[in-house]
Every structure is written in C-alpha cells, then in structure tokens.
Amino acid sequence: MEQSTCSRPQSTAVTGPLADLLRSHPAGSDDPVERAIFGTTDAGTIASLVAGTAGDQLGVPVDGGIFYAASSGCVFGLHLADGRSVVLKAYQSHWELPFLRAVQRIQRAVAASRFPCPVPLAAPVAVGHGWATMESLLPDPGQRLPLEDGSLERSSSGLVRLVEAARGVDPDGLELHPYRKAEGELYPTPHNPIFDFPRTKEGAEWIDAWARLASSRLSGCSLTSVIAHLDWSARNVRLDRTGVVAVYDWDSLGLAPEAVVAGQDAATWRSTGETLDVRGPDAAEIERFIASYGDARGTPFSALEIEVARAAAVGVMAYAARCEHALEQRTPWKRERARRWLRSQAGLLLP
C-alpha cells in the first residue's frame, strides 16, 4: 500500500527557483533518495540537472519550479518558458526501463479514452544514476466532497472504467515493477528502505500470520489478470459528484486478477496517506466496494472471486501494518491505523 513514487501536483502557480524548492523540502539536506538518484543532495546541482534534462527532452527551457516532493523517487513540477507546466519524475536505478515504457504506453492509451490522467511527453531517459520521465501536469482539483454518500460507488466505478480503458493494451514490462513480491516471499519489496522487515521481526509475528493466511487463500489463483492501478487511494484519486476527475501516480500500474484489484483497492480507497488518516474501511464497507465493482463492470463476482478479493484486502492491510511496525521500531513515529484494522476486521473477512 502507498507505494507510489511521488505526490500529486498541488498548484500550477510558479512558486520560485527550482533550487529553492529543493532546499525547502522536509527531508533537508541529506535525502537518501536524492543521493541515490542524482549522486548528490546539493540543491543547485540537482536543479541544474533536472532543468537540463527537461529542456533537452522538450526543447524548451525551464524558467521556474512549481512543486517538489520525494518518496521512493523524486517529482518536480516545472514551468517552461513557453508557458506550459509539466512534471518530471526521477526514479532510482532499480526501476527498470521496460517497466517505465509499459507505464507510458498504458497511460497514453488510457488518456486517449478521455480518462483523467497525465499524458507522457517524452520517452524515459537516463538522469544521474537513475531514470526520468516527463508528463503533462494535471492540476490537483482537491477532494471536492467528503468520502461518504456515494463516494464508494464513484470510486469503484472509476476503477472499472480504468480497467476497461486499459484492456487490450500490451502489458509487457508491467511485471517488472520494482516493488513486486518475489517468489516465496510473504510481502512485496518495501517501497522505502526505512521499512526493514528482516530486522523488525520481533513483535510482528501476529501480523505475519494474517499475511500468511491471506497469501494461502490467494495461492493457486488462476484467474486472468488485468491492467489496473494498484494504489487506488484517496491520496491518488480525486472524486466529485460526477465521478473520478483526476488520477495520479501511474507508476502504480500493475497486473492482477480483477478480484485482487477490487479487494486490494477496497481496503485502500479512502486512505489519504496523512497522519490524521485514522479510519480504514471496515469489513462491511470492503464487501460493499467489491460488490459495487462487480455491479459497475456488469458481472458480479463469483463466490471464488469474492474469497480472493477478501484475501487481497487483508493482504494489503497486513503489508501496511508491517510497515507501521517496522517504522515504529526504528523511528519515533507511531501509527496504528492498519494494525487496528487487522485486529478488528481481518477475522470478519477471513474467518
């Protein structure tokens, strides 16, 4: 859960020189992600490298920065001399080129269907020790309504719309997502090195037990996979009363059976990723999302698919709980959202 590379665009107004945005980032002057990608954390050097890469790719100079954020990668909102606003995403070297190309291929196809997503502007290119992609800036409209009263149905039907828009697009390369789950492993590769699962095993045995049970219910699943957004959460998806109006973080695309997609996203759809985001969907709400997804696609899930969807929901929450536990062992940061959910809701979905 929450494996995305970067944040959503916050504004289209030029806020100042790009180097100043880098210097004001909360990670300060020693961000390990910046160092991994660019070989330095010097704001001026990174700003020059980013501006040069964008200018070379688009043939237009960069004249200011709009926003900057970093997580497992770095994202830059850039204002160009011709008046356009664009986004450059920088990735660490373990993001493989075929995966980034697959994401862009699918984004283009989905955008062509008039789905609200950024449009790739240039092929992936080497930058520093990693890779960079360019895409149009899709302004963040903000969440225009509380995540109540029909929001679940709008979110699930928007997810169906995306799956249908991507159906038939060549998925080759998507299987190379750097945070995929390796054969025989209980969890996917954590999206940030700070989540050190091997060194934080003590006290997490009960979380691992839920992850193991969910995995056992998913093992041997022979359902056909589809292309889908696997971090379909409120931090990435914007809704209004007409439905989905903007979706971000397209490097969260992946391949999974629709039942897995519906179950995993049912557990995360209302999450904003913020510290005060303390409420997770209860078991009844997850069941509603799964049923709503089936209604929106016009084919209700079978009994087997419902069991798979339930297991996927528990599995993604077990991963989030394991991240909470690992972070608590290594930092002063403490959060109980996913662990509280596992204790109270997992047994209702996987009795």
What is the CATH number for 202? 3.90.1200.10
> CA distances (Å), 126 to each of 56, 81, 112, in order?
12, 23, 27
Domain assignment of residue 4, yes or no: no
Same domain, 124 and 212: no
Give the contacts of 295 (CB within 8 A, at least 6 positions apart).
Answer: none
| 36 contact partners, CB below 8 Å, separation of at least 6 | 92, 93, 129, 130
129 and 197 co-located in one domain: no
- Domain shared by 75 and 27, yes or no: yes
Residue 141 covered by a domain = no
Task: Give the pLDDT confidence score for residue 261 in this predicted structure.
Answer: 97
> Is there a domain that residue 12 lies in?
no
User: In angstroms, rounded to a whole number, what is the distance separating the alpha carbons of residues 272 and 1?
Assistant: 11
The CATH number of residue 103's host domain is 3.30.200.20
Q: Is residue 145 part of a domain?
A: no
Same structural domain, 231 and 199: yes
pLDDT at 3: 45
Q: Among 103, 136, 169, identify where a domain stops.
A: 136
Answer whether residue 142 is part of any domain: no
Same structural domain for residues 265 and 337? yes
Q: What is the pLDDT of residue 221?
A: 81
How many separate domains does the chain show? 2
The boundaries of the domain holding residue 106 are 18-136
Same domain, 274 and 313: yes
- 50 with 131, same domain: the answer is yes
Please tell me whether residues 103 and 210 are part of one structural domain: no
Q: Does one domain contain both 184 and 311?
A: yes
Return the pLDDT at 15. 67
CA distance 96 to 93: 7
Residue that terminates a domain, selected from 136, 171, 186? 136
Pair 268, 227 in one domain? yes
| pLDDT of the residue at 331 | 76
Residue appearing with tokens 């060194």: 199
pLDDT < 70 positions in the chain: 1-15, 27-29, 275-278
> Can you read off the two tokens belonging to residue 58?
């688009």
227 and 338 in a single domain? The answer is yes
Asked if residue 2 is part of any domain, the answer here is no
Residues 159 and 215 reside in one and the same domain: yes
Q: What is the pLDDT of residue 11?
A: 47
Residue 277, pLDDT score: 65
Q: Is residue 319 part of a domain?
A: yes
